[in-house]
Chains A and B, each alone.
Chain A
Amino acid sequence: MGQLSLKTVIKTFGDFQVVKGVSLDVTEGEFVVFVGPSGCGKSTLLRMIAGLEHTTAGDIVIDGKRVNDLPPVKRGIAMVFQSYALYPHMTVFENIAFPLRVEKAPEEVIRKKVAEAAAILHLETRLQQKPGQLSGGQRQRVAIGRAIVRQPEIFLFDEPLSNLDAALRADMRIELTRLHKQLGATMIYVTHDQVEAMTMADRIVVLNAGYIAQVGAPLELYHKPQNTFVAGFIGNPRMNFLPVTCTGVSAAGVEVDYQGQRLHLPVAPRPGIEGATLSLGIRPEHITLGAGEATLRITPSVVEQLGQQTIGYATLPGREETFCFVLPGTRVIEDDKPLDIGFAASECHLFDAEGQAFERSIDLAALTVPSAV
Chain B
Amino acid sequence: MAFKSRDTRAMIDRYRWWEVVAIYAGMFCFLFFLLSPFIEGFLVSLKPLAQLFSSPYRFWPENGTFAAYVSMWETVPGFARYVFNSFLISTISTCIVLLLVVPAAYAFARFDYRGMGLVLGGFLAVSMFSGAVLLIPLFRLMRTMGLLNTYFAMIIPGAAFLIPSAIWLLRTYMMRIPTELNEAAYMDGASQFYTFRRVILPIARPGIIVVAIVTFIGAYSQQFIFALTFNSKTEYMPLPIGLYAYFGKQEVIWNELMAASFVGIAPALVIIFFLQRYLVGGLTAGAVKQ
Which positions in A face B, CB cutoff 8 Å? 50-52, 71-73, 77-79, 81-89, 98-99, 102-103, 130-134, 136, 139, 146, 150, 163
Contact = CB atoms under 8 A, between A and B. Distances in A.
Contacts of B190: 98, 102
A50 B189 CA distance: 12
A163 B190 CA distance: 27
Contact of B188 (A82, A99, A130, A131): A99
B6 interface: no
Interface stretch (B80-88, B259-267, B278-286): B278-286
Contacts of B288: 81, 83-86
A71 B284 CA distance: 27
Contacts of A103: 189
Interface stretch (B57-65, B89-97, B175-183): B175-183
A73 B285 contact: no
Interface of B: 178, 180-181, 183-190, 194, 199, 202-203, 282-289
A324 B190 CA distance: 52
Contact of B286 (A52, A77, A88, A146): A88
Nearest to A79: B187
Residue among B187, B188, B202 with the highest chain A CB neighbour number at 10 A: B187
B279 to A, nearest CB: 15
B289 A87 contact: no
A131 B180 contact: no
A99 B189 contact: yes
Nearest to B184: A85
Given A88-B285, A89-B202, A98 B185 contact: yes
Contacts of A134: 286
6 nearest interchain CB pairs? Answer: A131-B286, A132-B285, A132-B286, A73-B189, A83-B288, A85-B180
Given A102-B194, A103-B189, A88 B184 contact: no
B188 A73 contact: yes
Contacts of B189: 71-73, 99, 102-103, 150
Residue among B180, B188, B199, B288 with the highest chain A CB neighbour number at 10 A: B188
Nearest to A140: B289
A131 B285 contact: yes
B40 to A, nearest CB: 44
A84 B186 contact: no
A83 B180 contact: yes
A87 B178 CA distance: 10
B289 A84 contact: yes
A139 to B, nearest CB: 6
Contacts of B199: 87
A85 B286 contact: no
B184 A150 contact: no
B209 to A, nearest CB: 14
22 contacts: A52-B183, A52-B187, A71-B189, A72-B189, A81-B288, A82-B289, A83-B178, A83-B180, A84-B286, A86-B184, A86-B286, A86-B287, A88-B203, A88-B283, A88-B287, A98-B190, A102-B185, A103-B189, A131-B287, A132-B286, A134-B286, A139-B289
Given A87-B181, A89-B202, A89-B203, A52 B186 contact: yes
Contacts of B186: 52, 71-72
A98 B188 CA distance: 7
Contact of A139 (B183, B185, B286): B286
A52 B194 CA distance: 17
B201 to A, nearest CB: 10
